[in-house]
Structure 1
Amino acid sequence: MHIVHESLQQMVSFDLNTGPVNSVYFHEEDRQFYIGTYGGYVHVISTEHLKEIGRSKAHDCAVKALKVEGDLIITAAVEGTICLLDKKSLSLKKAEYIGATELLNDVFIDSKRDRIAIVSRDKNVRLFDLHTGRILGQHNEHQYSIKSVTVTDSGYIVSGDYWGYIVVWNPELDVNTGPIRIAQNGISAIRQLGNDVYASSYDGGIYHVREDGTHTEVLRLFEQFPKEVISH
């Protein structure tokens, strides 16, 4: 793990020694990096002190994704398990989220409604109660493995798959928009900003997605060749 400190004009390196790094999340409020590794660990790196300030063995296999919200860390592992950790103590909080039948790819905490959304290779988007683990809803509109998920401020769940399709789901009305192909290759990551969503793709584009499913390309980092990946 390497952090480039611009003001000091230096790079600080950390040997975490728990396997390859699989997920990195920066939490702006506490200015800390949260890192998930193949060894099943969550590491916490302070940018103020430029050192590791904590670690926890969350899973017995690779941490595929993690998010931080409020006092909670949520992690998703390759074998389909999800862990909820206390951010300060890094201790495991009791909650079981049962449903995914294949490798988990992403997770998102909707703290406004005390919910979590998960996506996996089984092509399902699932919504759980954060504290009890009870499943609140799901859909299987995607035809391909789902890579990323996020939740807008108003509660719409937007997911993107490995073939460039997105689905916008209103879980309150159980209404889906999509799948809509917005990119010529897979969706690599999705982030929300208020009620707007931005999706990056392996095709080199960044796309703005709205809650009604309309979308526009807002940035191109490189050109893909060939131009389009053909699905069968």
Structure 2
Amino acid sequence: EVLVVDHHRSNPGFGTHLFLDPGAASTASMVLDVLEAGRYPVDPELATSLYAGLVTDTGSFRWGGAGSHDTARRLLAAGAEARAVGFALLDAHSFPWLRVLGELLSTARLDPGAVGGRGVVWLTVPHEVVASADEADVESLVSHLQGVREAQVAVLVKEIRPGECAVSLRSRPGRGDSIDVSAVASALGGGGHPAAAGCTVRGDAARVTARLRELLV
């Protein structure tokens, strides 16, 4: 028997038992609820693991509301090591990555007229960079993109292998209605949150980008 614990509304419903709560701040919050309901002990090591899940699932508390902060309080009280986890997940990178980072960011493109004038910023990471760089370093690029004031949506296209791309999508409130990037990801076989989603798509970067442009109207 397999228990699936998730808070993504795009969950297809696999497993023999499904605990699905789209209103939960994070999947880590739900796991903590299950453990506490079953009176299982939450030691510092387990609390730290759940805290890592909480930080990544909420975009370092950018979304998730009060529930995410309440989960953080409970995990910190159980002995979670927040400082080390925060550095490892959000800040740590190798020195050579700085040069690669600069070269990649110089290729980013802004489309201010996209999605009804709300703007999209795009960045493609070629396969040779993805193959040689740390996965976390590559994924961190989307954080740089989502800080662009002129764009409400950030799109990171990573050529994970020839003919296949992984896409990371971010959206933030801005002019007009917020853009649900999980709907874009779902149309390409992925899913996620309204503000943070992703998918893996067959095709080269140019073809995948063209398909994304069609969906981001």
TM-score, normalised relative to structure 1:
0.29
> Which has more helix, going by share of residues?
2
> Which has more strand, going by share of residues?
1
Which is bigger in relative contact order (C-alpha 8 A, separation at least 6)? 2
TM-score, normalised relative to structure 2:
0.30
